[in-house]
Amino acid sequence: MAAVTALNESPAAASAGQPRGMQLRRRRRLNVFRYVVFTVFGLFFALPLLAMLRFSLEGAKLGTWSLTAWRQIASYQNTGIPPLISSIEITLELAVITCVVMLVLLVPTMIWIRLRVQWLARTMEVLCLLPLTIPAIVLVVGLGPIYNRIQHYELSALMLFWVYVILALPYAYRALAAGLSAIDVTTLSEAARSLGASWFTVIVRVIAPNMRQAILNALLLTAALVLGEFTIAYLLLYNNLQEELYSISRNTPNAGVVYSTSFAALLFAFVLLLILSYAGRRRRGRG
Amino acid sequence: MAAAATSETGARPSRAGRRLAAPAWVGTVPFLAYVAVFLLLPTGIVVVDSLKNPNGAWAFSNVTELGNPLVRGYFIGSFKLCVLSSVSGAVLGAILAYAIASGNPDGTVRRLYIAVSGVLAQFGGVTLAFAFLVLIGPIGLLIHASWYFDFPWGIGLIYTYFQVPLMVLVFLPAIDGVKVQWREASENLGASAWQYWRYVGGPLLMPAFLGGLLLLFANALSAFATIQAWENQIAYIVPQQISTALSSEVGLSNVNVADLLALGMVIMVAIVMTGYALLQRRAARWLR
């Protein structure tokens, strides 16, 4: 309403300064709105994390400070469950394996489809986004029989990577698709091919290096997903980091080590993504 | 754009790639095989098993068990939690996305919030339940909320924590797509801020908003870790009951309970995601 009256007055004044003054007022109001929103959401996002951090630093007596829980990360062990550090190792190894398999499976296939089998592009997209539609818990119900067969060979929790690649597909696909559509794949491959490059060289040495940022993006999203995965490990009775934290919290409620480890894992993921965000900006700025 | 690329690449390789004896699609076989074994096969197993009884004989009447009051209760619980957390997440996320979009497109605040959203949208695991437990739970540092263990309010608040960032990630591109010129044009025509949002901005963003809402709904529906760590004694929602059914076959007789519940979930998510895809297509019309 205020804006309308201001506008009605301006023809009489007929000055160029008037609309700008109105914009200034709106800008100021918008800024107040933005600061309020950022503060409220900042608190909403930060408080649970701060509570977790504070709790991880809780001493033996309530209200005191101590680093015990953080030191325990490396040494914590409880009866009936494997040591914490071993599940951290397994989870990190899982993250690496999942990333590698995802890259080897997805990058060449996506480039190949883009170059040679365009009619499969739509199918590929649907297949890659399908895991968003099929909840992990449904996947577990169906995977039970398949994993029972694999378990005959007495394999470790590392076998979870088979499913984790599927879970990571939508995120990795989107990141890679964005990178792929940003470069002129056809021209690059034609140039390389006419200079005598094999298809392998085209994919691995010409196109893939041009989508480095997208590949990095896909890797980090995949790693973050593996670090936080609980459902499948828990239901297939494998032991990964999240499952271990859950077991500890059930055995020993309010164990400080649960909070220190959780916080460390979260911090790890956050630093990774922050690095990515800055790395992406710098490259854009240069180009 | 995609169509143009198709005709171009489709024509040329036939000249260059003669050397290869195998047709080009053979290159995609490893990927297709992988997806078939670890995505399509499990889903197929769920569908087939849900229509069989434990002895392995076909029993299409199983589907009627989805109407069983016990089973229906879990679906209603899931529905309540999903509606609560997706509506609150979508509204709050849209507000935050607007605040982010109206600032400097290359500023620190924006980059920080996007990075934080990226992490927190994935932060739905058991950790989240722990964080809220020590914030507002029985041992909370901020308050001891008496409603912390109430369903769906306590868990709904926890879910909102990862729903808001997801909405920001989904909705921000739509808000960025709204051009300043539209606002200026409507202002030049004498529209107030409310009129602008009611007749221009709102209708433009509505498909994207509803699409985001549905995505959040599906996201909440499939979440399991957080609620399991929040309260593991009582099953409120379908995934919890699936977990219980997997570890002990009790409850309904003569039915593969876990498979049946899983089938119900697939149907539910499929409906929601179809709506999402349709709305996305509508929203995309304005954003290009």
- For the record, the structure tokens of B191 come out as 């529209």
Tell me how crowded residue B147 is: count the other CB atoms within 10 A of its CB.
Answer: 10
- For an interface test with A, give the residue of B18, B134, B233 to mutate (most A CBs within 10 A): B134
Is residue A110's pLDDT more than 80? yes
- The pLDDT assigned to B286 comes to 66
pLDDT at B215: 87
B36 contacts in chain A (CB < 8 Å): none
Angle in degrees, CA B51, B52, B54, rounded to 5: 140
Give Dmax (Cα) for chain B.
Answer: 73
Of A187, A226, A209, A194, residue with least CA distance to A100: A226
Name which of A280, A114, A287, A143 is nearest A206 in CA terms: A114
d(CA B259, CA B242): 8
Phi and psi (nearest 5°) for A65? -110, 145
Helix H segments across chain B?
2-11, 13-16, 29-35, 41-50, 69-101, 108-121, 126-136, 153-176, 180-188, 193-196, 202-222, 225-230, 238-247, 257-287
* Distance separating the N- and C-terminal Cα atoms of chain B: 12
> Is A63 inside any structural domain?
no
Q: For residues A54-75, give the mean pLDDT.
A: 82
Instruction: Report residue B234 as tokens.
Output: 């009582």
What are B104-121's pLDDT values in tens digits? 877 888 888 887 887 788
- If asked whether residues A279 and A168 sit together in one domain, one would say yes
- How confident is the prediction for chain A on average, in pLDDT? 82
What's the pLDDT score for residue B7?
Answer: 42
Same domain, A159 and A240: yes
Minimal C-alpha gap between A184 and chain B (Å): 10
Report if residue A71 sits inside a domain. no
**Tens of pLDDT, residues B216-252:** 998 898 888 888 888 777 888 888 888 888 776 554 5
Q: Which CATH class is domain B69-252+262-287?
A: mainly alpha
Q: Could A45 and B12 be called an inter-chain contact, meaning their C-beta atoms sit closer than 8 Å?
A: no
Q: Provide the pLDDT confidence category of residue B254 given band limits of 50, 70 and 90.
A: low
What residues contact residue B90 under an 8 Å CB cut-off, 6+ apart? B163, B167, B171, B209, B212, B213, B216
Cα B49 → chain centroid:
26
pLDDT digits 0-9 by tens, B15-43:
444 555 678 888 899 999 999 999 999 99
* Chain B contact present for A20, CB below 8 A: no
A269: domain CATH number? 1.10.3720.10
Where in the sequence is the domain holding A144, given as residue range(s)? 81-286
User: Would you state the torsion angle of the CA atoms of residues B130, B135, B136, B142, taken in this order, to the nearest 10 degrees?
Assistant: 170
Q: How far is B16 from chain A (nearest CA, A)?
A: 8
Query: Is this complex scored with an ipTM above 0.95?
Result: no
Residue A277 within a domain: yes
Instruction: Name the most confidently modeled range: A76-85, A211-220, A264-273.
Output: A211-220
Q: Specify the number of domains making up chain A.
A: 2
**Among B119, B168, B127, residue whose Cα is nearest residue A274:** B119
Chain B, residues 229-268, CB within 8 A of chain A, namely 229, 232, 239, 242-243, 246, 258-259, 262, 265-266
A36 occurs within a structural domain: yes
The partner residue sitting opposite B42, judged by closest CB among A26, A44, A146, is: A146
Asked whether residue B87 carries a pLDDT value surpassing 90, the answer given is: yes
Q: Are A175 and A218 in contact (CB under 8 A)?
A: yes
Instruction: State both tokens at B6.
Output: 């198709």
Same domain for A40 and A90, yes or no, is: no
Nearest to B230 by CA among A260, A133, A230: A230
| Residue A76 included in any domain | no
- Quick one: tokens of A68? 């015990």
- Within 166-185 of B, beta carbons closer than 8 Å to A belong to none
Q: Are residues A176 and A229 located together in one domain of the fold?
A: yes
| Claim to verify: residue A119 and residue A35 sit in the same structural domain | no
pLDDT bracket for residue B255 (50, 70, 90):
low
For residues A225, A230, A234, A240, the Cα torsion angle rounded to the nearest 10 degrees is: 70
One domain, residues A149 and A277: yes
Distance from C-alpha of A195 to C-alpha of A114, rounded to nearest angstrom: 20
Phi, psi of A94 (to 5 degrees): -60, -40
Interface of B with A in 52-91 (CB under 8 A): none
Each residue's pLDDT tens digit, A141-184: 888 777 766 665 556 778 889 899 999 999 899 889 988 988 89
Residue-level pLDDT at B287: 60
If one counts every other C-beta atom within 10 angstroms of the C-beta of residue B39, the result is 23
**Domain match, A7 and A126 both:** no
Q: In this complex, is the C-beta atom of B118 within 8 Å of any C-beta atom belonging to chain A?
A: yes
Which amino acid is present at B110? Answer: R
Same domain, A221 and A281: yes
Residues A228 and A129 in one domain: yes
| Better-scored residue on pLDDT, A90 or A2 | A90
Which of chain B's residues have a Cβ under 8 Å away from the Cβ of A182?
Answer: none
